[in-house]
Amino acid sequence: MVKVITDTSFLMLLVSNRIKNMNDLDVEIGQIEFVVPEIVVKELKHLSNDESKGNIALQTLELIKSFETNSISGKTADDGILNFVKENGGIVATIDKELKNKIKDVGGSVLSIHNDKIVLEN
């Protein structure tokens, strides 16, 4: 089982877009399990009060109820995820370009979404 750490942007895009290859993804990189840092849950709860993003944030909170959570923490969700990957390695699911580059710089791998498909970036 490959554990993939998720950030807020990736999770919200899963809810708002129809992803075409969710079932094929397990075959490409092994069976995966999305892990949601507690700081991301906190960020989603905060966004649920936002006028423009509130509905998607609430739907995302509902989606992640079945996902494993992790006690990753930091000043921000990105900082917490980056520090975790620096210390432990791993795969991070994000669409945040800046975070993608930082994850790759510290030796982590990135799962992202391109053309409504989840892809593993090098």
Cα distances (Å, whole numbers) of residue 73 to 36, 43, 78? 11, 11, 9
List the CATH number of the domain containing 101.
3.40.50.1010
**Into how many domains does the chain fold?**
1
- Answering whether pTM is above 0.85, one says yes
The 10s digit of each residue's pLDDT in 11-63 is 998 888 766 656 666 546 777 889 999 999 999 999 999 898 899 999 999 99
Give the domain extent around 31: 2-121
SS3 call for 97: helix
